[in-house]
């Protein structure tokens, strides 16, 4: 039961979807770093609803307001606290959730865990809206990483039956990552956009939703970062990635693709180039023995279809213990994958900064 | 850089593959529980090398010796410390590793991180042998879980091109799990054994190795276990699973399969049966919002091919900074998947006990 | 560098003395507890400046504003976030601190640690004002403890040369604690108030300040609470008590008084009374082997004189590296001890709740 | 319930007084440090029983045996595991403790907490013997600190009615600390030894025991070490010091002496000397705002009289719930203070290394 994460940099997230505000406290940031708020707002906007036809029409400005930890635009070393007011709240839409849990949502498990005391309006503290503070923290982390030459970027790898190209593990650089993260609909090959959008549109029209995969890369991480045994980079990255609602799978490099491979095909050999050691391939996604090997870190994340759909679904009444059919009204994303892209980047950036500092 | 894991139950693992001994300290176990050592030895044997034609011929008895924390066969509440002597050590086999890192192993990253001071004999502290203490801890956890009606079991889901059946998410029970874990080669459908063994044999003959997937389930977990936000069951489970060497992917329920699905097909509805709420399907693998929903927990883990193969591979000499070709001699598993099955179970049992206590 | 504390209940404190606001996030509170805000305001007021002639004339309403974690007045299980606006800020008073560190303050050490980037207005994040969120957290903890029959209260044991009576370790009860905590100037024997106040007044007139001792007790804690080895109740209590600015000593029961005693005089024997085991004396302050023994927990805390005084003091100019004399203007407490009483109680309540939950 | 301590360097202690062995696992040590075992044995011997007429006649060689984490005498970066066999165990001496708890010991509280399952022979995991692994960890920490010019040393400040001189806070250097720690009976003024020994002897003859105070100093710590708010150096130091059995008070610098002082007398002013900032006095014991100020760290620790005495004491029978009188036979220290000196140093060294690394 913990909304606090991190070792050297601790992030504490608070708030509910339909409460007064959401926010976070970031403790342990080094002092003296100038924060570029335009960059932060840009990241926040990438995640915010209502920016794209493919997302929920609910609009939130997601304007982060700094309460502490900054002086003259620079970090002070004290906790950086930030809140975002919830401006566009229509609680009426969710009133029935209290008694009839939405399938594949946290409604039922939260009800059991908190004895019915949790705020269920809009998912409360479990809402995807709570990823906004994480994106804020990630945007700060990205800036600090960039001063060290580390860049993080992600793209939509798959939605439903439509795939984008995958990263070429061996040839990712910061320019490619910057280009991708600047796209409204982040794909490696933008020619896939039309097909993907129409895939989403198809499910929206049916009152349904669809899942996907996000692929994320980070370049510039020197070899030797991360811990052994229980503190592997894979452990800390996956731990925070699985904190993102709807994430149901995480893999590094070839990931599940390793299962049908032999070592002689996928082992990453070494060579000396210009007096430096580098890898001949990057099937391990930049991590060996839990520690970075200097190659780009590459990982993929599976996102399940948004469970809120308007089609009728079977549920139960928690009060009367009778079977019920539920049709979820309100403003929902037919596909959360595009908006989850900056959240995945934020999680990765946050963990990398914590590991490298 | 941490060999300590857990919140309420803290496990500290120590030792090197070719050192004097390996072991662990388990802190926080409740007092007064009788430990059945026959069961523990059975679990240890499942992981130990040399038990099966498909594994390395190196033989280790892996006899756990208790140093503290038990009195009259019962836990005392004080730390349970255990060591396993390394009896069958042939360090000569690994002498060349110091200068030429084995591809896809931790050799290079550990070299960078520890400045060449780490024990590289047999992989040192990074060796798969260090999973033996985890299996011990898991065996203890399993016993405590079973007193609460919770059972954990795993099977080989895939090796190379050969698949076993998957768990029927909705119909797993403790009898099925007990049956599977008692098999020397754990499959749901034992008719797949011949094909899988010949798949492994094929790679062994070529001096190569092959990867696979392990699927693990846990039954009997009541709804309401696990935390929200950063302490989701998926976060803690994946974090420990990625601490197992060779694990490169973790997914829950449908996992990456969600990517091509629509919500109306995969949302898990509810029904009332015998006055109790239960799920109509279990595509989420028993976890919603990071919290158990009462259905079996089901997850899959991707295992990469053992990187140690006798085929020639490209590497570098860390001292001379020249390219080299490496052929790894010694005793290696052509497929680590069968021996990793009890390790995956141990990781799952350990996390579940820590979450439920 | 951490403003997060606690195990099961994690408290994250943020803000600076002269920033926009201060506050805290409390994570891990059990769901369904009704919070009485009148009680919280009462506790906040006990600490707030300007309530008593003996404190600084700076007035702050210290009105806690809840942002999340409450619904219908009850805890939801989600993080309870609270902010207090800084309304009465006169930064001009502190302008010189940047270059000339105030003796015995954190100015110099924070300057070194944060490279001069920390907010030094009013002490910034190091200000005693940051104990307000702790008092808030303590007030919440007290309410939850009281539902379990546990009560915490403290009094001024000593200021300068004037002493109050000490607790009679063996005869403290909740009525005595409630009576003491309701006093504006908390003493066991209120006849000492005049003498203590004139002691403080003496130092104020001289532009000086004076130290003291606070004694705190907690009743109703059952035997068996706390951990062994590194998690002793004394460890966790002292750890949080030393987080209060100006605290320089912590002792349990006889504490430093044990040094000149023999065991036969101070060992706490047992007796059976009404079929129950109780202690014949309580020199150990209710804790043995780090674990509560059922007797009241009693501890004392040494508070140093407020370092901000108007008398001239020797300091240095951090920029020119020349010696300087500093005279601190502004609004300061000639004795912080009375206002520190509810802070000590809050720290004790917070730790006890975390240990008992 | 945790026998694990530390942030970057985690120490896990295990074992029982009359079990097979005791030991510890130290995780997070930097790689490549040569460990001098003669120095470690010297520290272990300072704490070991039977070395001095003033301590218990029980003899234990306390020979630390390294299991892992060292190669060629150097740290590898992997966990350093160490065990000490218990060679001189006479469990018969303690057989009655099971039913009649020894006053002021952990017997009763451990009985309640562990439901009577804890190992009570010789105090089990609560025994002072478990400070041996801490002394080992401290000896390792001291060596690493000394490579950075940091030295730790302590002396007996008081036993019963006899006092040693206190450290001259402003004039401590590494030569004084090395001299003191090399003494068999560590005093600043060795002329006090005869009086102190006769004080101890007096209580021994009466079958009683006596308490005392240990004063510890550390020199060479640069300004800027330690954290703000909840991670103050005082918090981490006191937390580990209170984990030492019999410690009932901790104070920094003047500590409780501050209570009767005014700021103008005790504030530590600054001056510039040889172009560097230094302190004019050190009443704060080297810590301001929780962070080191560059002056020596000075702290005192109160030790209660060893509770095991042969005089008759009032206790109860836990089984029959009747009052009983207990006379404790066996080998006990009439004064634990001399043997606790290296333990206090070890705790301080351990925390400083963890803070500085």
The rounded percent of chain A whose pLDDT value lies above 90 is: 84
Interface test with C, best of B27, B30, B289 (most C CBs within 10 A): B27
Query: Which pLDDT score is estimated for D94?
Result: 46
Please check whether residue A50 is in contact with residue A60, taking contact to mean a CB–CB distance below 8 angstroms: yes
Query: Chains that contact D by 3+ CB pairs under 8 Å?
Result: A, B, C
Helix A337-356 crosses helix A37-47 at what angle (to 10 degrees)?
A: 140
Give residue C92's pLDDT band: very low, low, confident or very high (50, 70, 90). Answer: low
d(CA A147, CA A145): 5
Contact C117 A13 (CB under 8 A): no
Nearest CB neighbour to D114, from listed B77, B80, B124 = B77
d(CA D275, CA C120): 24
Position B171 pLDDT exceeds 90: no
- The secondary structure element, H or E, covering residue B193 is helix B193-205
Position C95 pLDDT exceeds 70: no
Position D246 pLDDT exceeds 70: yes
Interface contacts C/D by beta carbons within 8 Å: 367
Look over chain B and give the mean of its residue pLDDT values, rounded to a whole number: 93
Per DSSP, the three-state class of B280 is coil
Q: Is D117 on the interface with A (CB under 8 A)?
A: no
Query: Which pLDDT score is estimated for C41?
Result: 94
d(CA A344, CA A352): 12
Please check whether residue B139 is in contact with residue B346, taking contact to mean a CB–CB distance below 8 angstroms: yes
Minimum mean pLDDT range among C135-149, C329-343, D213-227, D247-261:
C329-343
Average pLDDT over residues C303-310: 96
Report which of A141, A254, D159, C212 is spatially closest to residue B249, judged by C-alpha positions.
A254
Look over chain D and give the mean of its residue pLDDT values, rounded to a whole number: 93
Give residue A83's pLDDT band: very low, low, confident or very high (50, 70, 90). Answer: very high
Q: Is A12 on the interface with B (CB under 8 A)?
A: no
Position A255 pLDDT exceeds 60: yes
Please check whether residue C254 is in contact with residue C267, taking contact to mean a CB–CB distance below 8 angstroms: no
Query: Which pLDDT score is estimated for C30?
Result: 96
Condensed to tens digits (0 to 9), the pLDDT of residues B272-281 reads 999 999 999 9
Q: How many residues does this entry show for chain D?
A: 357
Report which of B355, B186, B212 is spatially closest to residue B287, judged by C-alpha positions.
B355
Average pLDDT over residues A266-275: 95
DSSP character string of B82-147: EEEE-----GGGGGGGGTSPPTTSSHHHHHHHHTT-S--GGGGGGSGGGHHHHHHHHHHHHHHHHT
DSSP E strand stretches across chain D: 4-5, 10-15, 21-27, 65-68, 70-71, 74-75, 80-85, 151-159, 162-163, 212-219, 247-252, 270-273, 276-279, 287-288, 291-292, 297-303, 313-316, 323-326
**b/e burial code for range B216-246 (CB count within 10 A of at least 16 → b):** bbbbbbebbbbbbbbbbbbbbbbbbbbbbbb
Query: Which pLDDT score is estimated for D53?
Result: 57
Report which of A262, A169, A160, A172 is spatially closest to residue A212, judged by C-alpha positions.
A160
Provide the token pair at C27. 């994570």
Chain A residues with beta carbon closer than 8 angstroms to that of D78: 228
d(CA A20, CA A83): 10
Provide the token pair at C241. 């008590």
Query: Which pLDDT score is estimated for A96?
Result: 40
Position B51 pLDDT exceeds 90: no
Position D332 pLDDT exceeds 60: yes
Query: Which pLDDT score is estimated for B16?
Result: 93
DSSP character string of D216-252: EEEE-PPTT-S-SBTT-HHHHHHHHHTTSTTEEEEEE
Query: Chains that contact A by 3+ CB pairs under 8 Å?
Result: B, C, D
Position D227 pLDDT exceeds 70: yes
Query: Which pLDDT score is estimated for C91?
Result: 55
Report which of B113, B154, B312, B165 is spatially closest to residue B247, judged by C-alpha positions.
B154
Contact A25 C10 (CB under 8 A): no
Chain B residues with beta carbon closer than 8 angstroms to that of C228: 77-78
Query: Chains that contact B by 3+ CB pairs under 8 Å?
Result: A, C, D
Report residue C281: phi and psi, to 5°: -150, 175
Contact C67 A118 (CB under 8 A): no
Report which of B54, B51, B31, B53 is spatially closest to residue B43, judged by C-alpha positions.
B51
Condensed to tens digits (0 to 9), the pLDDT of residues D25-54 reads 999 999 999 999 999 999 999 998 776 656
Average pLDDT over residues B164-179: 94
Contact D304 C266 (CB under 8 A): yes
Closest-CA residue in chain B for A275? B321
Provide the token pair at B13. 């693992």
Give residue C96's pLDDT band: very low, low, confident or very high (50, 70, 90). Answer: very low
Chain B residues with beta carbon closer than 8 angstroms to that of C77: 228
Q: How far is A217 from chain C (nearest CA, A)?
A: 30
Q: Is C171 on the interface with B (CB under 8 A)?
A: no
Position D97 pLDDT exceeds 60: no
Q: Is A183 exposed, middle or buried (0-12, 13-18, 19+ CB in 10 A)?
A: middle
**In the sheet where C4-5 sits, what is the strand order?**
C4-5, C10-15, C21-27, C80-85, C65-68
Instruction: Note the ipTM here.
Output: 0.96
Cβ atoms within 10 Å, residue C280: 16
Q: Is A160 on the interface with B (CB under 8 A)?
A: yes
d(CA D226, CA C106): 12
Chain A residues with beta carbon closer than 8 angstroms to that of B283: 104
d(CA A148, CA A173): 15
Look over chain A and give the mean of its residue pLDDT values, rounded to a whole number: 93
d(CA A337, CA A347): 15
Q: Is B228 on the interface with C (CB under 8 A)?
A: yes
Position D88 pLDDT exceeds 90: no
Q: Is A230 on the interface with D (CB under 8 A)?
A: no
Q: Is B345 on the interface with D (CB under 8 A)?
A: no
Interface contacts A/B by beta carbons within 8 Å: 369
Q: How far is C237 from chain B (nearest CA, A)?
A: 19
Contact D259 C302 (CB under 8 A): yes
Query: Which pLDDT score is estimated for D121?
Result: 85
Q: Is D228 on the interface with A (CB under 8 A)?
A: yes
Condensed to tens digits (0 to 9), the pLDDT of residues D139-156 reads 999 999 999 999 999 999
Query: Which pLDDT score is estimated for A248?
Result: 98
Contact B14 D68 (CB under 8 A): yes
Which residues lie closer than 8 Å to C250 by C-beta, 6 or more apart? C237, C238, C241, C242, C299, C300, C301, C302, D238, D249, D250, D251
Please check whether residue C324 is in contact with residue C107, taking contact to mean a CB–CB distance below 8 angstroms: no
Q: How far is A304 from chain B (nearest CA, A)?
A: 5
Report residue D193: phi and psi, to 5°: -60, -45
Interface test with B, best of D3, D11, D125 (most B CBs within 10 A): D3
Q: Is D117 on the interface with C (CB under 8 A)?
A: no
Condensed to tens digits (0 to 9), the pLDDT of residues A102-143 reads 999 999 999 999 998 999 888 899 999 999 999 999 999 999
d(CA D100, CA A118): 48
Q: How far is C202 from chain B (nearest CA, A)?
A: 51
Task: Give residue for tokens 């009289």.
Answer: D305
Which residues 27-86 of A have a C-beta within 8 angstroms of C?
Answer: 27-28, 31-32, 67-69, 71, 74-81, 83
Q: Are strands A80-85 and A21-27 parallel, antiparallel or unpaired?
A: antiparallel
Closest-CA residue in chain D for B114? D31
Query: Which pLDDT score is estimated for C12?
Result: 96
Look over chain C and give the mean of its residue pLDDT values, rounded to a whole number: 93
Task: Give residue for tokens 């797949």.
Answer: B192
Query: Which pLDDT score is estimated for D58?
Result: 59
Query: Which pLDDT score is estimated for C57?
Result: 57
Nearest CB neighbour to C10, from listed A4, A79, A119 = A4
Query: Which pLDDT score is estimated for B168?
Result: 93
Query: Which pLDDT score is estimated for D48?
Result: 86
Q: Are strands D297-303 and D247-252 parallel, antiparallel or unpaired?
A: antiparallel
Position C122 pLDDT exceeds 90: no
Report which of C331, C223, C238, C313 is spatially closest to residue C276, judged by C-alpha positions.
C223
Task: Give residue for tokens 């004076």.
Answer: C210
Average pLDDT over residues A335-350: 97
Nearest CB neighbour to A31, from listed C10, C71, C117 = C117
Nearest CB neighbour to B161, from listed A105, A260, A307 = A260
Q: How far is D84 from chain B (nearest CA, A)?
A: 11
Q: How far is A311 from chain B (nearest CA, A)?
A: 7
Condensed to tens digits (0 to 9), the pLDDT of residues B233-243 reads 999 999 999 99
Please check whether residue A325 is in contact with residue A316, taking contact to mean a CB–CB distance below 8 angstroms: no
Q: Is A143 on the interface with B (CB under 8 A)?
A: no
Q: Is A318 on the interface with C (CB under 8 A)?
A: no
Chain D residues with beta carbon closer than 8 angstroms to that of A77: 228
Interface contacts A/D by beta carbons within 8 Å: 4
Give residue A94's pLDDT band: very low, low, confident or very high (50, 70, 90). Answer: very low
DSSP E strand stretches across chain A: 4-5, 10-15, 21-27, 65-68, 70-71, 74-75, 80-85, 151-159, 162-163, 212-219, 247-252, 270-273, 276-279, 287-288, 291-292, 297-303, 313-317, 322-326
Interface test with C, best of A14, A34, A109 (most C CBs within 10 A): A14
Q: How many CA atoms lie within 13 A of D41 on its CB side?
A: 7
d(CA B83, CA D214): 37
Please check whether residue C286 is in contact with residue C297, taking contact to mean a CB–CB distance below 8 angstroms: yes
Give residue A51's pLDDT band: very low, low, confident or very high (50, 70, 90). Answer: low
Q: How far is A64 from chain D (nearest CA, A)?
A: 25
Q: How far is A131 from chain C (nearest CA, A)?
A: 15
Chain A residues with beta carbon closer than 8 angstroms to that of B285: 248
d(CA A228, CA A225): 10
């Amino acid at each position: 039961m913990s909304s606090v994460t991190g070792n050297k940099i601790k992030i504490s997230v608070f708030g509910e979807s339909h409460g007064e505000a959401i926010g976070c406290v970031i403790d342990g940031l080094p002092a003296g770093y100038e924060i570029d708020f335009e960059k932060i707002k840009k990241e926040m906007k990438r995640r915010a609803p209502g920016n794209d036809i493919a997302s929920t029409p609910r609009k939130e400005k997601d304007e982060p307001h700094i309460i502490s930890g900054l002086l003259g635009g620079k970090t002070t070393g004290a906790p950086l606290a930030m809140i975002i007011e919830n401006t566009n709240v229509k609680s009426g839409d969710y009133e029935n959730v209290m008694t009839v849990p939405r399938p594949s949502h946290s409604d039922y498990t939260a009800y059991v865990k908190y004895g019915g005391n949790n705020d269920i309006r809009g998912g409360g503290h479990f809402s995807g809206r709570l990823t906004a503070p994480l994106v804020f923290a990630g945007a700060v982390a990205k800036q600090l990483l960039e001063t060290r030459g580390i860049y993080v970027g992600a793209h939509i790898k798959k939605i439903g039956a439509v795939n984008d190209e995958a990263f070429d593990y061996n040839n990712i650089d910061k320019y490619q990552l910057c280009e991708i993260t600047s796209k409204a609909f982040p794909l490696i090959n933008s020619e896939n956009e039309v097909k993907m959008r129409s895939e989403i549109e198809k499910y929206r029209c049916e009152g349904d939703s669809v899942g996907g995969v996000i692929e994320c890369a980070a370049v510039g991480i020197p070899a030797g970062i991360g811990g052994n045994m229980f503190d592997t980079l894979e452990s800390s990255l996956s731990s925070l990635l699985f904190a993102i609602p709807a994430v149901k799978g995480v893999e590094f490099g070839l990931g599940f693709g390793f299962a049908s491979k032999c070592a002689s095909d996928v082992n990453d050999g070494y060579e000396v180039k210009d007096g430096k050691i580098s890898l001949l391939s990057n099937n391990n996604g930049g991590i060996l023995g839990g520690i970075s090997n200097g190659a780009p870190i590459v990982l993929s994340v599976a996102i399940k279809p948004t469970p809120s759909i308007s089609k009728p679904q079977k549920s139960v009444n928690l009060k009367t213990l009778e079977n019920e059919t539920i049709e979820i009204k309100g403003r929902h994303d037919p596909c959360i994958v595009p908006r989850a892209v900056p959240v995945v980047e934020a999680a990765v950036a946050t963990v990398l900064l914590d590991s490298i500092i």
